[in-house]
A and B are shown apart, each in its own frame.
Chain A
Amino acid sequence: MAERLANRLKELRAVRGLTQAELAERVGVTRKTVNTIENGVYSPSAMLAIKLAAALDVAVEALFWIQQ
């Protein structure tokens, strides 16, 4: 069965009142990158996943998980 990296990025970003551009700026990427991760089009590298989790002040596993 195919596995994919699911995330709660959009939800947690909204809770913290951040726009895609603001979050992108905090982790040093463009808004496009945040957009593709939120839409499940792109699975980020471990480094970017950790940066995103830190920017949202949550554990990485609370932000990303493997979906069967």
Chain B
Amino acid sequence: MADTSDAASAEQLSRRRARMLPVLAVLFVGQQASYFSGGGSADHPAGQVHVAAWLVLSVVILAALATGGGWIYSRKVRELANDEVTRVHRAHAFRAGFISSMGACIALYFVTQFRPLSGREAIHIIMTVGILVTLLWFAFLERRAHHDG
């Protein structure tokens, strides 16, 4: 049996996470758009800042997706917020993200026959697609689960 305050905190964490995921997706795409509109080069200082910011945000999002986030909460609350349904949702989201990433790889394979792409650009595109689809799919499943039927 869960403690009442832990259960309430877990519910709050779960709802907050479901609300934040789409916002995070928009921020992530916005950052990618900014990188590509700047020519996608890391040869100048501003480009290096963009690449570093992208890497940091990507790692943070991946860590949050993999662990469920809510690192400021106690272990008990985090375990409760990452219960059975959440773990299933996460597995479905990662599956969708992986398939999308592979789809992006196949698409890029054909694109590079007509337009040369640097390794960095290709990595950006594949990671953006994979992380974005995982984020959005997880957000959709979590928001649907919170919605009273």
Q: Is the interface of B mostly helix, strand, loop or mixed?
A: helix
Given A21-B7, A41-B144, A30:B81 Cβ within 8 A: yes
Q: Is B29 an interface residue (CB 8 A)?
A: no
Given A25-B1, A26-B1, A38-B149, A32:B84 Cβ within 8 A: no
Q: Is B121 an interface residue (CB 8 A)?
A: no
Q: Is the interface of A mostly helix, strand, loop or mixed?
A: helix
* Nearest B-chain residue to A47, judged by Cβ: B84
Give chain B's interface residue range (CB within 8 Å of chain A): 20 to 34
Contact code string A15-51 (vs B, CB < 8 Å = 1, else 0): 0000001001111111111011011011011001000
Q: How far is the CA of A32 from the CA of B86 in the complex (A)?
A: 9
Q: Is B2 an interface residue (CB 8 A)?
A: yes
Given A21-B11, A42-B85, A44-B84, A32:B2 Cβ within 8 A: no
| Interchain nearest-CB distance for B31 vs A (Å) | 30
Chain B contacts with A in 84-121, Cβ cutoff 8 A: 84-86, 88
Q: How far is the CA of A26 from the CA of B83 in the complex (A)?
A: 14
| Interchain nearest-CB distance for B146 vs A (Å) | 5
Q: Is B10 an interface residue (CB 8 A)?
A: yes
Is the beta-carbon distance between B11 and A31 smaller than 8 angstroms?
A: yes
A-chain residues with CB within 8 Å of residue B148 when the two chains form the complex: 35
Is the beta-carbon distance between A30 and B149 smaller than 8 angstroms?
A: no
Is the beta-carbon distance between B84 and A45 smaller than 8 angstroms?
A: yes
Given A21-B11, A25-B4, A39:B149 Cβ within 8 A: yes
B-chain residues with CB within 8 Å of residue A35 when the two chains form the complex: 145-149
What are 14 inter-chain pairs, A to B, with CB distance below 8 A? Answer: A24-B2, A24-B7, A28-B2, A28-B80, A30-B7, A30-B81, A32-B14, A32-B145, A33-B85, A33-B145, A35-B148, A36-B85, A41-B144, A41-B149
State the B residues within 8 Å of A (CB). Answer: 1-2, 4, 7, 10-11, 14, 80-81, 83-86, 88, 142, 144-149
